């Protein structure tokens, strides 16, 4: 049985029609498939690891429901670890294409779900997924995070028509997968602050329904990293619920705004640069996001120290760069394949003249109340570090092999790659972002004090 939160969220989901979530629910896979895709044949898709986790149970459930199989399950190798590369999407798409009246029932976590999602989406077919780990917030989301030629971006495609999330399976997943799900989810804390800011400045209003879908269960889902790290079933169930709700919120809002802020943009830079793709297993999205979350919260901490009188209009106007200067900076900082899109995003966010003055005056007017609301939303960067460390996730750039100078540079690159307004952009508008980063990396700043991971 789905949780009450998920049942309510499904009523506004654009693509996902059913989710079963609870103990022993793998047995309901066949019933769901038959209901969602009447008359269709099933193709079970897994890798050796995920099929080993619950494949036999999924096949048995489909058989019991009278579902016809297009052919034997398609199983990717388990080693090396399957990666979300477009080549794998092409392999699966070409395998599915000649199978008429066939729908994929994938078995897996983020990677297999995304491969099945995009392969099915490119053929205009629905699909469903049986979840095997609480490792990602994108199970129910539209779009698939896929790498092509070492360049990882989210590619547009519909979310799953159905999801099965069995606590007994999810809680038996490798601990690193659970930890990566925690890293992905905790970024919703500063992402929420980014949205509060954008809403207050009249840039992107908060959709209260979508906001509550993510932020409502969020603190509870993150509440006990020690129990999650120790494999506690109830705690991991809460983490899974938070991740499922996040994906459903992205569907309801037709945007990732509710789930992705400045902290995610650190991860996106490293993914676009291909960092960790050749590791075994590949460096996970959630591990990169966790480190980005610490960085985002450290930036927020510096911003919240400012008073309204620190928002100097003359300084802001003097710091505005011309379009040519913005483009030159972006092209100098980013790899060629990242540049065109980043130039568009950076120029779209560029603000000058009366618009900039009005924005800063509005910030001054709202600052006392806004700052308190932001403080209530955020966590200190030290707390994020502690939580990530406790759950077993990386909490420092050194732990994901990002050297110090590259990490510092990412603070600037991350601002360039999206047009979403975040804490990066208010500090750019105020003409103080360079000084904030300088402070963070100074001996007395946050990263100066945390030069190395804690022992």
Confidence of residue 450 (pLDDT cuts 50, 70, 90): very high
Place of tokens 């603190």: 219
Check pLDDT > 80 for residue 3: no
Question: What is the average pLDDT across 249-271?
Answer: 93
Backbone angles phi, psi at 83, to 5 degrees: -120, 155
pLDDT tens for 347-369 read 999 999 999 999 999 999 999 99
Beta bridge partners of 145: 154
Confidence of residue 110 (pLDDT cuts 50, 70, 90): confident
Task: Please provide the CATH number assigned to the domain covering 177-204+257-449.
Answer: 1.20.1090
Question: What is the average pLDDT across 112-137?
Answer: 95
Check pLDDT > 60 for residue 395: yes
Backbone angles phi, psi at 453, to 5 degrees: -60, 150
Question: What is the average pLDDT across 312-339?
Answer: 96
Question: What is the average pLDDT across 317-330?
Answer: 98
Which 8-state DSSP code applies to residue 156?
A: P
CB atoms inside a 10 Å sphere around CB 28:
19
User: What pairing do the DSSP bridges indicate for beta strands 144-148 and 162-166?
Assistant: unpaired
Confidence (pLDDT) at 20: 94
Residues of the chain with CATH 3.40.50.1970: 4-173
**Paired tokens of 33:** 């498939």
Question: What is the average pLDDT across 306-327?
Answer: 97
**Paired tokens of 377:** 């939303």
Confidence (pLDDT) at 205: 98
Confidence (pLDDT) at 455: 64
CA distances from 327 to 390, 416, 429 (A): 41, 10, 16
Confidence (pLDDT) at 153: 73
The answer to whether the CB of 262 falls within 8 A of the CB of 349 is no
Question: What is the average pLDDT across 78-92?
Answer: 92
Q: Residues of the chain with pLDDT > 70: what percent?
A: 99
DSSP per-residue string spanning 49-108: HHHHHHHHHHHHHHHHTTPPBSSSPEEE-SSSPP--BHHHHHHHHHHHTTSTTEEEEEEE
Per-residue b or e along 265-285, where b marks 16 or more CB atoms closer than 10 Å to that residue's CB: bbbbbbbbbebbbeeeebbbb
pTM: 0.95
Confidence of residue 150 (pLDDT cuts 50, 70, 90): low
Residues of the chain with CATH 1.20.1090: 177-204+257-449
Higher pLDDT, 266 or 4: 266
**Paired tokens of 344:** 């568009």
**Paired tokens of 32:** 């769901």
Confidence (pLDDT) at 1: 40
pLDDT tens for 42-82 read 999 999 999 999 999 999 999 999 999 999 999 999 999 99
Query: What are the contacts of 323-332 at 24+ separation with CB within 8 A?
Result: 323/347, 323/350, 326/350, 329/416, 330/416
Topology, domain 4-173: Rossmann fold (3.40.50)
Average pLDDT along the chain: 95
Which of 126, 226, 113, 111 lies closest to 179, judged by CA?
A: 226
Confidence (pLDDT) at 417: 94
Distance CA 373, CA 216 (A): 16
């Amino acid at each position: 049985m789905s949780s009450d939160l998920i049942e309510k969220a499904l009523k506004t989901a654009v693509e996902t029609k059913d989710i079963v979530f609870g103990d022993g629910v793998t047995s309901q896979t066949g019933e769901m498939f038959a209901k969602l895709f009447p008359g269709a044949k099933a193709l079970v898709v897994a890798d050796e690891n995920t099929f080993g986790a619950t494949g036999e149970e999924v096949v048995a459930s489909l058989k019991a429901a009278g579902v016809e199989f297009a052919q034997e399950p398609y199983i990717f190798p388990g080693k090396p670890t399957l990666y979300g590369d477009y080549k794998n999407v092409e392999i699966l798409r070409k395998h599915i294409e000649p199978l008429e009246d066939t729908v994929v029932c994938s078995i897996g976590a983020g990677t297999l779900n995304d491969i099945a999602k995009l392969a099915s989406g490119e053929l205009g077919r629905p699909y469903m997924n049986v979840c095997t780990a609480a490792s990602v917030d994108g199970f129910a989301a539209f779009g698939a995070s896929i790498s092509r030629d070492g360049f990882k971006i989210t590619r547009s495609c519909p979310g799953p028509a159905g999801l099965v999330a069995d606590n007994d399976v999810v809680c038996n997943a490798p601990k690193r997968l659970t930890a990566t799900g925690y890293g992905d989810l905790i970024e919703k804390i500063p992402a929420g602050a980014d949205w509060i800011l954008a809403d207050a400045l009249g840039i992107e209003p908060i959709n209260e329904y979508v906001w509550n879908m993510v932020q409502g269960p969020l603190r509870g889902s993150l509440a006990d990293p020690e129990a999650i790290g120790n494999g506690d079933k109830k705690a991991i169930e809460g983490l899974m619920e938070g991740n499922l709700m996040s994906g459903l919120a992205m569907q309801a809002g037709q945007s990732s705004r509710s789930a992705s802020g400045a902290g995610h943009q650190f991860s996106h830079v490293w993914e676009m640069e291909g960092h960790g793709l050749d590791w075994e297993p590949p460096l996970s999205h959630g591990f990169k996001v966790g480190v980005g979350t610490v960085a985002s919260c450290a930036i927020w901490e510096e911003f919240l120290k400012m008073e309204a009188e620190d928002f100097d209009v003359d300084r802001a106007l003097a710091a505005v760069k011309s379009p040519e200067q913005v483009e030159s900076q972006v092209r100098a900082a980013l790899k060629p394949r990242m540049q065109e899109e980043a130039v568009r995003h950076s120029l779209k966010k560029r603000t000058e003249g009366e618009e900039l003055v009005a924005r800063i005056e509005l910030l001054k007017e709202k600052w006392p109340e806004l700052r308190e609301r932001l403080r209530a939303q955020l966590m200190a960067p030290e707390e994020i570090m502690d939580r990530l460390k406790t759950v077993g996730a990386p909490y420092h750039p050194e732990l994901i092999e990002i050297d110090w100078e590259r990490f510092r540079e990412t603070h600037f690159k991350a601002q360039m790659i999206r047009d979403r307004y975040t804490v990066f952009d208010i500090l750019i508008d105020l003409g103080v972002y360079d000084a904030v980063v300088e402070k963070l990396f100074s001996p007395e700043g946050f990263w100066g004090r945390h030069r190395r991971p804690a022992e």
